[in-house]
Amino acid sequence: MQAAVEAPRLVSLADRLTGPEADAGYGRTLALLAVCDGEVVLERYGRAPDTAFGPGEDVGPDTTLISWSMAKSITHALVGICVADGLLDPAAPAPVPQWRHDDRRRITLQHLLEMRSGLEFVEDYVDGEVSHVIDMLFGAGKDDVAGYAVNRPLLHEPGTHWSYSSGTTNIVARIVGDAIAPVYGTGAEGMRTFMHERLLDPIGMRSAIPKFDTAGTFIGSSFLYATARDFARFGELYLNDGVWDGRRILPEGWVDHARQPVPVPADEAFGYGAHFWLWPNEPRSLGCHGYECQRTIVLPERNTVLVRLGKTPTEQGPAVDAVLAEMVGCFPAVQESASK
């Protein structure tokens, strides 16, 4: 472990989340990985919970785990590639045919990326309550997630009201699929080819398994499986301004686009940019966040990426984030490190 990193403290914090002394108050951590200055300095794995079908299995470096909403940030990268290719313009009205003849035509792609479309969408993960996200992913909308979200009514003037929405991301994923279809083909196969050729394979994210609905739309809100190491690779792409091994994958300025803050409600623990969360007190940070406390945290000021994957009830999520924030503090700021 690098000398500048507060190694004993980092290990002690990791012990809270993983290993025999892990605290049940944090849920179950399945993978914990830190990459600093391009080197893995911490890597821990746990055991999946038992199910009705049998005992849980040990998780390791080759285990693919679900992204949940971390996939939203991957969708941001796909949009950026389309912007570089001249296929999409964030400032233009979102190319959604169903919106051409009503007030929804004022929704831009940028509004969608910022979660400020103004569309009605209840993002509630508690079964039994009103929940558009559950209905979209597992109920009436599961065969056409974008179609389900596109048909939501407009409640607010676009650009004036922030509301986190998985439906919004699936609309964006459909827009990307339509944009790349003339070159890569339609439906799931076209989108899968585009994702691998332009993003996943170039950064070595070879374990990645994106999921698609029956209509062929990438379920960009929720469903991409990958190893912890490969989620870290995605984080490193954003850490390095969209460049991988000297090759520009994302257009210049697209990483900064992700971190431009928009107003969010006062009770939100994190800031928000464009399909990325922003960590408090960490300048230029970017967070891919997912249900059950999936996290890929990009920390340019510390040249570090931190990944945590697991199964944590919503009410325990803030406790996990508090530990992760302490772990972030174990990595020196870049200028501080350079002065030692």
Which of 247, 304, 290 minimizes the C-alpha distance to 2? Answer: 304
Residue 1 lies in a domain: no
Token readout for 147 is: 């179609």
* Residue 338: pLDDT over 70: no
What six digits make up the tokens of 160?
């004036």
Residue whose C-alpha is closest to residue 17's, from 293, 331, 301, 332: 293
Domain extent at residue 322: 7-339
Distance CA 2, CA 39 (A): 9
Output phi, psi for 156, to 5 deg.
-135, 155
- Listed in sequence order, the residues at least 6 apart from 89 whose beta carbon sits closer than 8 Å to its beta carbon are 83, 109
What average pLDDT is seen over the chain? 95
pLDDT at 326 over 90: yes
Domain for residue 65, yes or no? Answer: yes
16 falls within a domain:
yes
Chain centre to alpha carbon of residue 336: 29
Q: Is residue 334 part of a domain?
A: yes
What pLDDT is recorded for position 336?
52
CB 90 within 8 Å of CB 117: no
In a domain, 308, yes or no: yes
**pTM score:** 0.95
Residue 2, pLDDT score: 53
Q: Please name the amino acid found at residue 312.
A: T
Contact 67/223 with Cβ under 8 angstroms? yes
Encode pLDDT of 37-81 as tens digits: 999 999 999 998 887 777 888 999 999 999 999 999 999 999 999
The torsion angle over the Cα atoms of residues 222, 228, 234 and 238, rounded to 10 degrees, is 110
Asked whether residue 2 is domain-assigned, the answer is: no
pLDDT for 1:
55
Pair type for strands 224-226 and 65-66: antiparallel
Whether 226 is covered by a domain: the verdict is: yes
Residue 339, pLDDT > 50, answer no
Flag whether 283 is in a domain.
Answer: yes
Burial pattern 175-201, b for ≥16 Cβ within 10 A else e, equals: bbbbbbbeebbeebebbbebbeebbbe
* Predicted local distance difference test score (pLDDT) of residue 130: 87
**Over residues 253-268, mean pLDDT:** 98
Rounded CA-CA distance 42/31 in Å is: 10
- Round to the nearest angstrom and report the end-to-end CA distance of the chain: 16
CATH number of the domain residue 178 falls in:
3.40.710.10
Binning pLDDT at 50, 70 and 90, where does residue 33 land? very high
Q: Which DSSP state fits 196?
A: I
**Which residues are paired to 306 by β-bridges?**
34, 297
Q: What is the DSSP string of 61-88?
A: TT--EE-TTHHHHHHHHHHHHHHHTTS-
- Name the domain count of the chain: 1
Q: Which amino acid is at 276?
A: F
